[in-house]
Amino acid sequence: KNQVEQSPQSLIILEGKNCTLQCNYTVSPFSNLRWYKQDTGRGPVSLTIMTFSENTKSNGRYTATLDADTKQSSLHITASQLSDSASYICVVSPYNTDKLIFGTGTRLQVFP
């Protein structure tokens, strides 16, 4: 069964620190892997989209990496800010289908 698993479920860090969120997936083959940020009470917002042939993609202080051999992706947040407090969702798009597979997300809290 196609699955996307994220770890940790929740994470607390201090403002200014870096952190890395993990995503493991069993979807194969796949077209792309996406990371979304979801603020409380809002809809998810796209951070990065990587095709299966890409290893890394950045969006400001957010850097996503992809290892298609081990079926792992990570999202690295540099110099965290209070506004980074949100849920981060990993999403995999199986090849040749309209249906995305969503992870359950990592809840990040950044404290001053």
Partner 1 sequence: NAGVTQTPKFQVLKTGQSMTLQCAQDMNHEYMSWYRQDPGMGLRLIHYSVGAGITDQGEVPNGYNVSRSTTEDFPLRLLSAAPSQTSVYFCASSYLSQGDSPLHFGNGTRLTVT
Q: Which residues bind partner 1 (CB under 8 A)?
A: 4, 31-32, 34, 36, 41-46, 49, 51, 89, 93, 96-105
Minimum CB–partner distance for residue 68 and partner 1 (Å): 16
**What tokens were used for 62?**
């957010």
Say whether 98 sits in a helix, a strand or coil. coil
In whole angstroms, the minimum distance from the beta carbon of 17 to partner 1 comes to: 27
Residue 71 C-beta: closest distance to partner 1, Å = 17
Q: Which is nearer to partner 1, 23 or 80 (CB)?
A: 23
Reduced to 3 states (helix: H, G, I; strand: E, B; else coil), residue 26 is: coil
**Residue 35, both tokens:** 């990371």
Cβ distance to partner 1 smaller for residue 80 or 90: 90
50 vs 77 by CB, closer to partner 1: 50
| CA dihedral sign, ordered 77, 83, 86, 89 | negative
Shortest Cβ distance from residue 65 to partner 1 (Å)?
17
Beta strand spans in 17-112 (E) = 19-25, 30-38, 45-51, 56-59, 62-67, 72-77, 86-94, 101-102, 106-111
